[in-house]
Amino acid sequence: MTLKTEPIIVNIGPQHPSTHGVFRLRILFDGEVIHDVEPVFGYLHRGSEKLAEERTYTQIVTLTDRLDYLAAMSNNLSYCLSVEKLMGIEAPERAKYIRTIMAELMRISSHLMGLGFFLQDLGAFATPLMYMFREREKIMDLFEMASGARITYTYMRPGGVNDDLPPEFMPALRKFADEMPGYIDEYERLLRENEILITRTKGVGVLPRDLAINGSLSGPALRASGVPWDLRKADPYEVYSRVQFDLPVGQIGDNYDRFLVRLEEMRQSLRIVRQCMQQMPAGPFRADLPMLLRPPKGDAYAHVEGPKGELGFYLVSDGSISPYRCAIRAPSFINLSLLKEMLVGWKIADMITIVGSLDFNMGEVDR
- Average pLDDT score, the chain: 94
Which CATH fold topology does 8-356 show? Cytochrome-c3 Hydrogenase; chain B (1.10.645)
Helices 93-122, 169-191: crossing angle, 10 deg rounding: 30
Chain segment 287-296, per-residue pLDDT in tens: 999 989 999 9
Predicted model pTM: 0.95
* pLDDT surpasses 80 at 15: no
Q: How confident is the model at residue 4 (pLDDT cuts 50, 70, 90)?
A: confident
pLDDT attached to residue 44: 81
**DSSP string spanning 140-207?**
HHHHHHHHS-SS----EETTEESSPPPTTHHHHHHHHHHHHHHHHHHHHHHHTT-HHHHHHHTTSS--
Average pLDDT over residues 36-52: 90
| Residue 3 Cα to chain centre, angstroms | 44
Return the pLDDT at 23: 87
How much is the pLDDT for 18?
A: 59
Q: Count of residues for the chain?
A: 367
Q: Per residue in 21-41, pLDDT tens? A: 788 999 999 989 999 999 998
- pLDDT 10s digits, 120-140: 888 887 789 999 999 999 999
